[in-house]
Amino acid sequence: MTTGSGTRVYVLGDNWLPGVGGLENHTAALTDRLSATVPVEILTSESNTEDHGNPAVPVRRFPVAGDAGYYEGVRDHLLAARGQGPFVLHVMGFSYFWPEAQARLVQEVAHRTGCPVVLKVPTSGHAQRYLTAEFSAARASISAFICLNSGTYREIRDGGVPAHRVVSLPNGVDTRRFRVSDRAARAAARARHGVGPDETVALFVGRLTSQKRVDLLVDAVSAANAERLRLLLVGPSDATYGPAFDPRGLPAGVTWLGTTKHPERHYALADVYVSTSLAEGMPNSGLEAMASGLPLLLSDIPGHREIVEAGRNGWLVRPAVTDFATALAELPAREQLEAMGEESRQRAETEFSLTTVTERYLQLYRNVWDAKSDGVAATELRPGRRDEEA
C-alpha cells in the first residue's frame, strides 16, 4: 500500500454526530486531514439529526435492524467495495449497542476481503468484553488495536493480544483552529458572558455524563468557597451512554453555557481547564485547552497523565470533592497560570499536533496493509512507542 495509490479508508462508528462528543469530533478532524491524502468514507447508523461534518468527507448512513444494528448494511457495502481495490477498515471504538454484531462484522470483513481492520480503544475499561473468549475470533481478526494511553495498552496486552498488534497513538488537536487568544479578544469574550476581569474562570467542555463526574466538579467549586472563582460548563446533557448530569438549578458561581459547535470560542473565557472524569482515553477537550494556552487541572487517571506534566502545564488530583476543592482554592495568580498555559501550548504543538498524528495514522495504515499482504507481523513497523514496561 502506498499513500495516494487509491487505497481507501473506511471509518466506522455508531451514531456518528460530530459536535456531540470527543470521539466524534476527533473522527471529524482526523478524516478531514486524511481525505487530503487518501479517499475516506465514514460509515455509521441512520440519524434524524443533520450531519455537521466536512463535505469533503462523505458520510454513509445505514438503517438499524434490531440486534444486527446497521452492520449487515456495512458488511454488504464493504464486500462490494473490495472489488474496487484494497481498503483499511478503521473501527472507532467498541459498539455500545450492538457489540456482537460489530464483532461478526470485523471477523467477516477481515476474512472475506483480506483487508486489514484496525480498532481504536477509546476509553480505559471499554475493552473488557472484547477480551473474553466469546470475542476471540473477532479479536484475532484485528490487525492493530490503537491505544491512547498506557492504561488501555496494558488492558489489551493483559487480555492476550500480542505486542506487535498493539499500537500507542495519541489523539491529535488542530493547533490552527485552537490557539491562544490575544488579550483584547479574551477580554471581549469574557465581557460578553458577564465575567469580571478579576474573576478566575475554570472551564469544562464535554458530555455532562456520570462518567465525567460533573456533579463532583460542581460540588468541589462550592466547597472551595473562593469568592472570585467561577465554573463554566459547556456540552450536552447526554443520557445516550448512561445517566446524565442535569445542568438545571446549579449553585452560585456555576453556569451552564449549553452546547456548541464552536468550542474554540469558549476557551478564551477561561483561566484553567478542569475535569473530574473517572475514565478517559485521551480527552480531546484537554488537548483543545492545551492548544488554546490553558493550564490543566485534571483527575489523576490514565489519559490525563499523558497530557499533564505536573507543575509545568497543570496538576493531577485525586477525583474527590475535597481534593479538587483544595486545588481550586489554591490556584496560583494569573501570571503563573498564563506561564503554565504557554507550556500547554508548546506541548500541544510538539506532541499532539493533528498534522503529526495524521501522518502516524497514514503510516499505520501502510504498515497493517503491508503486513496483511506479506503475511508477516508489523512489529518493526508500527508507529508509537512500546509500553510493555510501562
**Distance in angstroms (rounded) separating the CA atoms of residues 314 and 301:** 14
- Cell 464535554: give the residue: 206
DSSP-assigned letter for residue 58:
-
H or E element in which residue 14 lies: none
Q: Is the dihedral of CA 257, 259, 265, 271 positive or negative?
A: positive
Residue 50 Cα to chain centre, angstroms: 21
Q: Give the type of residue at 218.
A: V
Cα-flanking dihedrals φ and ψ of residue 245, to 5°? -90, 130
Q: What is the pLDDT of residue 384?
A: 46
Cell numbers found for residue 175: 493547533
> What is the distance of C-alpha 317 from the center of its chain?
21
Whole-number pLDDT of residue 4? 43
Closest C-alpha among 63, 65, 115, 124 to residue 91: 115
CA distances from 174 to 177, 292, 345, 358 (A): 6, 10, 12, 11
CA dist., res. 42 & res. 60, Å (int): 6
Q: What is the pLDDT of residue 96?
A: 82
Taking the C-alpha atoms of residue 139 and residue 319, their distance in angstroms, rounded to an integer, is 33
Distance CA 27, CA 262 (A): 16
Q: Residue 278: how many CB atoms within 10 A of its CB?
A: 15
Residue-level pLDDT at 316: 98
Q: Which residue has the cell 490514565?
A: 302
Give dist(CA 107, CA 95) in Å, integer: 14
Give the pLDDT of residue 53: 54
* Ordered domains of the chain (ranges, CATH): 8-172+353-374 (3.40.50.2000), 183-351 (3.40.50.2000)
Count of H-run helices and E-run strands, the chain: 12, 13
pLDDT tens digit at each of 390 positions of the chain: 454 445 899 999 988 876 656 778 888 899 999 999 999 999 999 876 655 555 679 999 999 998 899 999 999 999 999 999 999 999 998 888 899 999 999 999 999 999 999 999 988 777 777 788 888 999 999 999 999 999 999 999 999 999 999 999 999 999 999 999 999 999 999 999 999 989 999 999 998 888 899 999 999 999 998 889 999 999 888 655 556 677 778 888 999 999 888 889 999 999 999 999 999 999 999 999 999 999 999 999 999 999 999 999 999 999 999 999 999 999 999 999 999 999 999 999 999 999 999 999 999 999 999 988 765 444 333 444 434 333
What is the structure's pLDDT at 94? 87
Which residues neighbour 176 within 8 Å (Cβ) at sequence distance 6 or greater? none
- Pick the closest to residue 172 from 390, 354, 14, 370 (CA basis): 354
Q: Report the amino acid identity of residue 78.
A: L
Q: How far apart, in whole angstroms, are the C-alpha atoms of residue 260 and residue 277?
A: 20
Strands lying side by side in the sheet with 40-45: 59-62, 40-45, 8-12, 87-92, 117-121, 144-147, 166-168
**CA separation for the pair 123, 275 (Å, rounded):** 15
Q: For residue 89, count other CB atoms closer than 10 A to its CB.
A: 25
Spatial contact of 118 and 368, defined as CB atoms under 8 Å apart: yes
Asked whether the beta carbons of 26 and 357 are under 8 A apart, the reply is no
d(CA 254, CA 294): 19
- pLDDT score, position 347: 97
